């Protein structure tokens, strides 16, 4: 049977839109399918900012006047929305002590806050204009199979199944990828850690004492259940940056042994009864978003037959939105080369393996230790953050470098800590031995899918 399409792209997020755009520009016939009716509408939580630290995913990403520039891969993505440059990263302890990281970029920024909806809208309008791309909405991927000469992808709407064939299929269906699952790759190539529930409130009229900043609430005392991780930052909302809308996000692991918490209830508690509820006295919720994701180790080999896995579908947690676009760009080019020369997919696989930090298991450990500062007691965190008052700490919002920045800042006071709190000093010295499971608050004895 003749292939209907050159490429079937599953998922029209940043990665899928980028692959489609690149391939169609080179004349390939693309079918782009998404399960939502409204492709640019963002319904999921995404507390992502533009990560401007040079070297992230072996790339240098900059923003200026309506364009996001990827220097090393040499391409630009238009962004017509507004931005809020973030000047500081504050880590706030339950007792209200803050560890302050100031922006290290030449402009003094730690990251740049942007509106994902505006970005996806821009990418989608490019894709819509290209006649080589056929777009189907409201179809869910059921499974993908490698067949002779290509890939067969089955989709479903409310009533029936549809099958499309492509010479190549792209799995860009996100962190809980159905394509990756039905190819058996979750079983064969990945390790499962935990399931996380995420909820975000978008709020107006927040009296935030740390404006223009990325805020991480560290420690267990911020939630009733003593679990999870809270972040907050200003976001442009429908193009408006002043006054900003604040996005408050909570991620909580779902353990088999603990009654699962309602993330929404926890955020309600934090904003109305928590220690920092004063910030939220006058707030008005303009949007509530959520997400549920399974933490797997990344797919180090993102190719299975003629299926190419791109973006969060292959990642540990996420590639950030910019990573999804970059890997979409690389995968698109690799597929173009493969379909004209018979080889080239490995170019993308090699680039992915080399540049995605979490493909190195040590990086997962380092990052989750930073994430898992809460293996420390709340009063210890208060004490430690208090010590850093007045320190000139420079860095970025970036999950790969942030744990090192934080730990270096704390360890610079190690002599004093050892003198004043010898037990805590010993814990800090052994911090590198905290296991990933402990850091992610996973009950390793009883964890289940």
Partner 1 sequence: MQIDIDKCVGCGGCVNLCPQIAIHFFDNKACIDQFRCTECRTCVIACGMGAPNVSCRFPQAIIFTEA
Residues in contact with partner 1 by CB under 8 A are 35-38, 41, 43-45, 138, 140, 142, 156-158, 173-174, 176-178, 195, 197-199, 252, 254, 260-265, 288-294
Give the separation between CA 212 and CA 194, rounded to whole angstroms.
Answer: 32
Q: Which residue has the tokens 């490429």?
A: 7
Q: Parallel, antiparallel, or unpaired for β 229-237 and 213-217?
A: antiparallel
Q: How far is the CB of 66 from partner 1 (least distance, A)?
A: 28
Q: How far is the CB of 285 from partner 1 (least distance, A)?
A: 11
Kindly tell me which of 172 and 198 has the beta carbon lying closer to partner 1: 198
Q: How far is the CB of 261 from partner 1 (least distance, A)?
A: 8
- In the DSSP assignment, the letter for residue 44 is B
Complex with partner 1: residue 285 or 427, whichever CB lies closer? 285
| For partner 1, the closer CB: 232 or 351 | 232
Query: What does the alpha-carbon distance between residue 368 and residue 268 come to, in Å, rounded to a whole number?
Result: 26
Of 171 and 326, which CB lies nearer to partner 1 in the complex structure? 171
42 phi, psi to nearest 5 deg: -95, 120
| Residue 311: CB minimum distance to partner 1, A | 14
Task: Give least dist CB 49 to partner 1, A.
Answer: 20
> DSSP 3-state assignment of 202?
strand
- Measured CA to CA, the distance from residue 22 to residue 346 in angstroms comes to 17
What string of DSSP letters covers 215-284? Answer: EEE-SSTTSTTS--EEEEEEEEETTEEEEEEEEEEEEEEE-TTSPPP-HHHHHHHHHHTSTTGGGGTT-E
- Which CB atom, from 120 or from 381, has the smaller least distance to partner 1? 120
Of 285, 265, 435, 266, the residue nearest 366 (C-alpha): 435
Nearest approach, Cβ of residue 34 and partner 1 (Å): 10
What gap in Å lies between CA 24 and CA 135, rounded to an integer?
12
Residue 216 CA to residue 395 CA, distance in Å, equals 14
- Least distance from partner 1 to the Cβ atom of residue 186, Å: 12
Print burial letters for 133-161: b (CB count within 10 Å at least 16), e (below 16): bbbeeebbbebbbeeeebbbbbbeeeeee
Residue closer to partner 1 (CB basis): 83 or 120:
120
CA atoms of 107 and 105, how far apart (whole Å)? 5
Nearer to partner 1, 23 or 261 (CB): 261
CA distances for 254 relative to 206, 225, 261, 337, 366, angstroms? 29, 12, 8, 42, 22
Residue closer to partner 1 by CB (options 294, 369) is 294
Q: For the CB of residue 291, give the shortest distance to partner 1 in the complex, in Å.
A: 5
């Amino acid at each position: 049977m003749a292939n209907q399409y050159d490429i079937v792209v599953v998922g029209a997020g940043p990665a899928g839109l980028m692959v489609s755009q690149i391939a169609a520009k080179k004349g390939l016939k693309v079918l782009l399918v998404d399960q939502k009716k409204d492709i640019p509408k963002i319904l999921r939580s995404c507390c992502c900012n533009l990560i401007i630290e040079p070297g992230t995913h072996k790339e240098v990403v900059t923003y200026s006047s309506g364009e996001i520039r990827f220097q090393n891969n040499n391409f630009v993505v238009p962004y017509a929305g507004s931005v809020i440059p973030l000047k500081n990263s504050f880590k706030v302890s339950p007792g209200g002590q803050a560890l302050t990281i100031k922006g290290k970029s030449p402009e003094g920024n730690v990251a740049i806050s942007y509106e994902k909806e505006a970005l996806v809208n821009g990418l989608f309008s490019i894709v819509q204009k290209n006649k080589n791309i056929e777009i189907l909405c409201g179809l869910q991927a059921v499974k993908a199979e490698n067949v002779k000469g290509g890939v067969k992808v089955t989709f479903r709407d409310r009533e029936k199944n549809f099958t499309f064939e492509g010479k190549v299929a792209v799995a860009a269906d996100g962190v809980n990828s159905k394509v990756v699952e039905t190819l058996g790759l979750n079983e064969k190539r990945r390790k499962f850690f935990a399931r996380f529930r995420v909820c975000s409130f978008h709020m107006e009229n927040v009296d935030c004492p740390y404006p223009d900043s990325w805020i991480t609430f560290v420690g267990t005392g911020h939630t009733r259940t003593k679990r999870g991780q809270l972040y907050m930052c200003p976001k442009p909302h429908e193009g408006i940056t002043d006054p900003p809308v604040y996005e408050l996000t909570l991620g909580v692991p779902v353990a088999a042994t603990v009654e699962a918490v309602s993330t929404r209830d926890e955020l309600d508690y934090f904003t109305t009864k928590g220690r920092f509820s004063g910030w939220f006295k006058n707030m008005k919720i303009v949007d509530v978003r959520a997400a549920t994701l399974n933490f797997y180790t990344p797919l180090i080999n993102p190719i299975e037959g003629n299926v190419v896995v791109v973006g969060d579908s292959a990642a540990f947690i996420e590639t950030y939105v910019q990573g999804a676009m970059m890997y979409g760009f690389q995968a698109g080019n690799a597929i173009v080369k493969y379909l004209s020369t018979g080889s080239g997919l490995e170019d993308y696989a090699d680039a992915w393996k080399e540049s995605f930090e979490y493909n190195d298991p040590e990086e997962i450990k380092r990052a989750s230790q930073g994430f898992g500062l809460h293996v420390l007691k709340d009063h210890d965190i208060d004490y430690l953050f208090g010590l850093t008052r007045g320190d000139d700490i420079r860095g970025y919002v970036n999950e790969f470098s942030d744990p090192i920045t934080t730990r270096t800042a704390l360890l610079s006071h190690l002599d004093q800590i050892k003198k004043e709190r010898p037990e805590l000093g010993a814990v800090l010295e052994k911090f590198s031995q905290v296991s990933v499971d402990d850091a992610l608050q996973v009950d390793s004895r009883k964890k289940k899918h």
